[in-house]
Chains A and B, each alone.
Chain A
């Protein structure tokens, strides 16, 4: 099976990989590029663990083909912190204990980051609806929502 050469920008760096036609962007990120922070929960668009931002748009990387990413700009969980400095969302997740097993966390962080880029002052309802496609088996969501609200408040103040 012939593979396609795909050229992208991932977290600000040029990245190239080879992809078979049916390879998902999720599998390409994890297995070809080696960025394993993006998780596979369901592989069918239901859980949001695979959330990434492609050309400014939040998507499930399990529901996108790797070959579609040619020429696009991708942001993953690995690009959320700046060097050793955590993003406010990451700090607040730790502060609020908004994770237990942590499997859903990369997806929540990427999704929450894309919300705050669009709306820096979301209501609790807006946060809950925006994150409705991210499932968490452990926390019961409340701590996650509070962490996102507080990170937003801190980022508005800063």
Chain B
């Protein structure tokens, strides 16, 4: 790893300048659980690592008027220990806590999970369903984009040179709303999702769904927002017919790969089954 420099700036503007001015390959580091593995196997040879964890706000969770602001480098372990966040957005926390082992949880962050841009990443579908916003700092100031606008292809994001994510914002949880995330893996721990599904719903006083967002992971090059699946839920209770429609809408959008973890047919079928299970949990959490 000769020719590599490391720096841990203490302000956002310093970090932006370092990233923007580096002639070689500059990489942002949060927990390093993807970055350091990729450097070790030689897939990535950065000339500069910009560690953002010394910047105030990059680690930690703040509740502001019911909204949650999560520093981009906050570890999964910290999220799991935050009772307020767990109560408001259990699906987001469960998805994040599925990442790796206890050891990996001590370091792995939302920003790294998203920006590594793996189709099978666990937290993005849950964040997308929850309506999370990413706050991006860069040479031209800050911008806020929905999480689904970050990943453009496997290993690629829409962030420009000098840009990095500083925090994620989860909206104030509506009354009678709930979110959930499940992934399917052939074992119980330490594996990459064959399919992941995040769903968030809001119900009215009668238990009818009035708002929904459905996102699938690992069945296409990027996480998918499944508008047809949300439409199947909105205006309805969770009847067998509605579940069947949800299942079909999810299967219809799948464009998965064939690999050792699952064939195209298998991943597609599992996407529908998983969506049914996730919807049931989200409805139950919303008070149905």
Contact = CB atoms under 8 A, between A and B. Distances in A.
Interface size grouping (class) on chain B: 20 to 34
A4 to B, nearest CB: 7
Contacts, number: 87
Interface in A37-67: 43-46, 48, 51, 54, 57-60, 62-65, 67
B101 A21 contact: no
Interface string A55-94: 0011110111101100000000000000000000000000
A97 to B, nearest CB: 24
B1 A21 contact: yes
B101 A48 contact: yes
A22 interface: yes
A57 B37 CA distance: 20
A22 B102 contact: no
- Please list the 10 inter-chain residue pairs (A to B) with the smallest Cβ-Cβ separation, ordered nearest first: A133-B101, A22-B1, A21-B6, A132-B189, A57-B106, A59-B106, A60-B103, A21-B4, A22-B4, A44-B37
Interface of A: 1, 4, 20-22, 24, 43-46, 48, 51, 54, 57-60, 62-65, 67-68, 111, 114-115, 129-134
26 contacts: A1-B3, A20-B1, A21-B1, A22-B6, A44-B37, A44-B40, A45-B33, A45-B37, A46-B190, A57-B75, A57-B106, A59-B106, A60-B33, A60-B104, A63-B33, A63-B36, A63-B104, A64-B36, A65-B51, A67-B6, A67-B8, A68-B32, A114-B102, A132-B101, A132-B188, A133-B101
Interface of B: 1-6, 8, 31-33, 36-37, 39-41, 49, 51, 53, 75, 77, 100-104, 106-107, 188-190
